[in-house]
Every structure is written in C-alpha cells, then in structure tokens.
Amino acid sequence: MKLYDSQDVLNAIATLEGKGIPWVCEIKRDCQKRTNQQNRLYWGNISIIAEYTGNTPEEIHALVKDKFLTKKRVIKMGKRKRTVYIENSTTTLDTKEFKELMERVYAIGESLNCTMIYPEDPLPEYKG
C-alpha cells in the first residue's frame, strides 16, 4: 500500500488496531528497480571492459560488485569484534543507484580508453 502523508499512515494503523493479532509495518522509500534497459547497458559495457582486459564479463561484474557494492562492517560479539563484508547485488539497486554504479563503470572503461556504450546508443544483446 502506498501512503502519501502522515495522515495516510495514521489511518492505516487505525485499521489494524484492536484486531488482536500482531503485525509488522515496514516503511521505505518508493522507488523503481533498475530497468531492463539499464541492465542491458550495464552488461554491454561490462562486456567491452572484459574483452579489452582479457577477462570474462562475469569476472568484471564480480570486480565491480566487490569494489562498489561491498560494505565493510565491524560486528561486536561480546568483547570481541569481527569484520564482515556484505556484498550487495545489482538486482537490488533502484534506478538512481544503478545510474550511480554506471557512472563508475564508465569511469573504469574510460580510464582504459574503451569505447563505452551510452544510453543514447543502440544497445547490444548480452550473451552472458
């Protein structure tokens, strides 16, 4: 259910109160997941970088995820601390986050003097 203001939230809560059952409410920003066109553009450019460097597209994809989508966290376990690395997936990115990732992919390609594909260019079919 989309709620547009605080009164909508209060009304939604009011309908749940007094039902005698537990409930969980998650509030998050409304956003659109990455588009198929963004995904094709990403894989087209990943393939270009892979061909230039002699790697597979999957290896370049793993490198991009490791470099830009992995977060380092320190977790306390009693008196001890452990460092863990949490890897995000490109499938969970919204259109804005995916655009930011693409800017980083463009920077990699351009640093290698690769001819990159931009949104206004025709998109190739990815055969991964």
Model confidence, pTM: 0.65
Q: Is 69 a residue whose pLDDT tops 70?
A: yes
Q: Is 123 a residue whose pLDDT tops 80?
A: no
Percent of the chain with pLDDT strictly greater than 90: 38
3-state secondary structure of 110: helix
Residues in CB range of 75: below 8 A, 6 or more apart: 81, 82, 83, 84
The Cα 108–Cα 64 span in angstroms is: 9
Residues in CB range of 42: below 8 A, 6 or more apart: 90, 98, 101, 102, 105
Q: Is 11 a residue whose pLDDT tops 70?
A: yes
3-state secondary structure of 6: helix
Q: Return the pLDDT at 87.
A: 78
Q: Return the pLDDT at 127.
A: 55
Q: Give tens-digit pLDDT for 71-120.
A: 888 888 888 888 888 878 888 888 889 999 999 999 999 999 999 999 88
Rounded mean pLDDT, 41-53: 96
Compute the mean pLDDT over every residue in the chain, rounded to the nearest whole number.
84
